[in-house]
Structure 1
Amino acid sequence: MRAPIVGWIADARCGNYRVFRVGASLLFLATVICCICVLILFNVPPHSIVSRVVSGGISPIMYIVGFVGGTACLVTALQLGLDQMPDASSANITSFISWFVFSLAFGAWIFDTGCRVFSCIHGLCAHVFSLVPVIAMSVLCCSLFLLTPKWMIIEPNCPQSLKTIYQVLKFAAKHKAPLNRSALTYWEEDIPSRMDLGKSRYGGPFTTEEVEDVKTFFKILIISVPIFIISCSLSPEVYMQSLDGFANCEAGFIFAVTYSPTWVIIIVTLVYEFCIYPLLRNRLPSILKRIGIISSVIFIVSSVKLVLATAIFSYSLDLSPWSNIAYFVIFSSIFMFLLTSILEFICAQSPYKMRGLLLGYTILLYIISMYVGTILMYIFNSVCVGPYCHIFEKSVFTALSLVGFVLHCLLATWYKRRVREEDYDVHRVVEEVYDRYLSQRPTL
């Protein structure tokens, strides 16, 4: 729940730059605490009182501080980067989002590999290695506090985001008809909804931009439901790979370049940005169609894996370990494209005043979907012990991918792009209607 709260604070209270600066400061504090804990634990007996206090009291504080700081930076970093590109084209924004995902994957891969290195070394090398995160965060904080205020574009906060949503919903609940009835009330082909009655053209206290922002906010919440289902079906293939045989240090490095999804995201992003995207830049489908294509690919690959699981059980076939790596690479690549497309959709369609809130909501929903898929995987592995369990498990996740794909196709046809503020001139409308009336009169 912290991600939407942090996004709302960035939108309505403090702004993206201040929230990111606070998050970076918390991360720096967490790295300092981690370094101190490492120095203490390596220089005191393992069962002493000091060691127990550090392990049981200080370490949880370090994790909490680091988690809050990381969430603040993660939610606001993308929006803060887009603020520096006020006149950027859609192609530049798409590339920026892809490189943003690449940076997250590269940082996660460095962190995972560093943790494995740290678990394999001892003595002075461990002490020196614990200073690396502190040095990195020191460089970031120094540049953030000293250089960026002069170079960065700092957008003002928008304090009316949640208040506007509440007021528009309250007005729609209390009014069933336009306040100002006139001959132009129903001149449009579509009958206005109760939420549209809050627009100033129908006598409401809100502008077209405010009402459409609220409508788009709820549309994004609805269209994110199939994305949640699709992510649930995708997560076990990405995160629930067996770690058997990776207990020692050497095998840990093999894991970092085989079953770790981060290295796949790094390579696929480089290939896509430098080879595929320059060739298909003008032929790419829309964002919703792209998500639909990715969803169909997830369903197809899941179905193929279900068929192979059934064949293995029926005919006692043995697959090469390279086949598991190939499937893992495919699903990790799909994960990267799905995440990039979702971020593009949120940045393109979310109202500017609510972008941080919706980005936080999307990140939280994506993380929850991964945990839900992982929990379902654990339930299948712990409860079901029969010979058909693996087939039943694959069938459930394939069905989830099918449901998510069909639901996304239905909602994608229903979804309409948000309407920006428009100039509404009553005199011009009267002239157009009267001119249409005169042109339709029969000539005498």
Structure 2
Amino acid sequence: MRWLVNHKQRLIITVVFYFVVLLLISMRKNSMYKYSTETYTMYNISSSLVVSDPTGTFRAKLPVSHAFINSVYYYPTSKSLGENAIAFTMAIDHHSNNMGHHTFNVLGYNSTNMIKSVATAQTEGISRCQYTTMMARTNTLSRLEKIEIESNGVSVEVPFKLARYTAPKPVIICISPQFAAEQWQLFVMHVHAANRFGGHLHIYLTSIIESYFELMKEYERQGYITLDYWLRMKFANPRTPYFEPNQNVEWRNQAGAQTDCLLQYKEAAEYIAFFDMDDILFPRDFPTYLEEFNAVLHANPGKNYLFYGRREHEFVKASTLSEFSFTELVQSLRSSQTVKRGKVVVRPEAYNSTWIHNSKHVSFATSVQVSSPTLVHVQLPVDKNGKRNHSRDLWKIEFGPLIEKIREDDIKAIEEDIYR
């Protein structure tokens, strides 16, 4: 589906649905339509009873917590989850009912048997939003053929995928969902840097400019990246009022996408990084990410993930792909003294879910806080013609000479890779 943004550019809205599951979790018996004393407005959209909350401050408690299951993975074997494990991630209304220690019954079937097990859950993200990211896990029978998930008498059959046991590279970089994406220069910079240092980008897409999408697809055909279409959440035929999930979840369910990526590659990758497209890491002491990460953790026994700060940078961006030069880009890079809250690189057996910056279920004491290098973080590059994006002025950040170390042989190799 293509939506016209203006007369010059088209925006592709991805509508690839893996599956849509509505799981109704009724926590209040005999109170199906007995709401709290707070009042609220409902309006009908495509026969769905949606609670109107334009300010995002409404705190009415609905009798039913709606949940959208994004993905379900089956692991015949897992280093951290055990034998015949199931893990699934969802966006769930955690304000209407307390989901802090919620459990789900999981019915696993093969051709001869059925096993009922209890899945324990954990949530990620900030508590302010109506919906939060939840990951649940349990163990079931071997040779799994069918799964049903049940909560308080409501059950639904859900499709599942076999988790990956091989990965294109030992280091997978999970890129958070791209929304109205147009900064192709950041992508070209990131994808070739990652390729040089032994990383593979797994990119989630929500919406993107068409020409940029075609460029990404070409890189996918050549094996540089994997594209994953992060679906818009939609409840099919709900029978009780609910809050619209896409408007009431943190950053378009970014933590859900990052957790999905983790669950996909949990048994396949040696390290998984959770970055944005504008978070680019240049290893300092070793030629590859794998060697660098191994060396850092080897020097810090008892630690199981790395935390990299994000240093703000600016660079001059090319107007067209034919004008793009990685050498010129690096020459134009300028660093600030501002280092913002960072992102993590994890051993996948140490994490079962994650938030945007790190998991609240893994102690920060088990991380190595890497002081150098920092992630090269570039949100608003400068146009080659000198035109400024005035939103940059709101940052009040001063830029000076490049602080990060980028080796000359790496610059040359990346330039050659771009134009090979």
So what's the TM-score if we normalise by structure 1? 0.23
Q: Which has the higher contact order (CA 8 A, sep 6+)?
A: 1
So what's the TM-score if we normalise by structure 2? 0.23
Higher-helix-fraction structure: 1
Q: Which has the greater radius of gyration?
A: 1
Higher-strand-fraction structure: 2
